């Protein structure tokens, strides 16, 4: 049995939405940094949490 395809949609539960954001934030920032290094580009990632707190990731060329 394989993985089940999930439909991407907004999480209605506020606590669940905040928990999901917290869990995935680090991963998306890591991916942006890796892309910056692999492609030799500068990346700025600006995200706002469900509570409107900003997070910034700046990937610099090396």
pLDDT tens by residue, 5-58: 888 898 899 899 899 998 899 899 899 989 998 999 999 999 998 888 998 888
Burial class of residue 33, CB neighbours in 10 A (0-12, 13-18, 19+): middle
Q: Which two tokens stand for residue 52?
A: 């409107």
Q: Please give the model's pTM, rounded to 2 decimal places.
A: 0.69
> Which domains, ranges and CATH numbers included, belong to the chain?
14-59 (3.40.1810.10)
pLDDT at residue 62 is higher than 70: no
């Amino acid at each position: 049995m394989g993985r089940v395809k999930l439909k991407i949609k907004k999480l209605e539960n506020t606590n669940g939405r905040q928990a999901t954001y917290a869990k995935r934030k680090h991963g998306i920032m890591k991916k942006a940094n890796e892309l910056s290094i692999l492609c030799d580009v500068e990346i700025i990632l600006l995200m706002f949490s469900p509570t409107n707190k900003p997070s910034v990731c700046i990937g610099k060329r090396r």
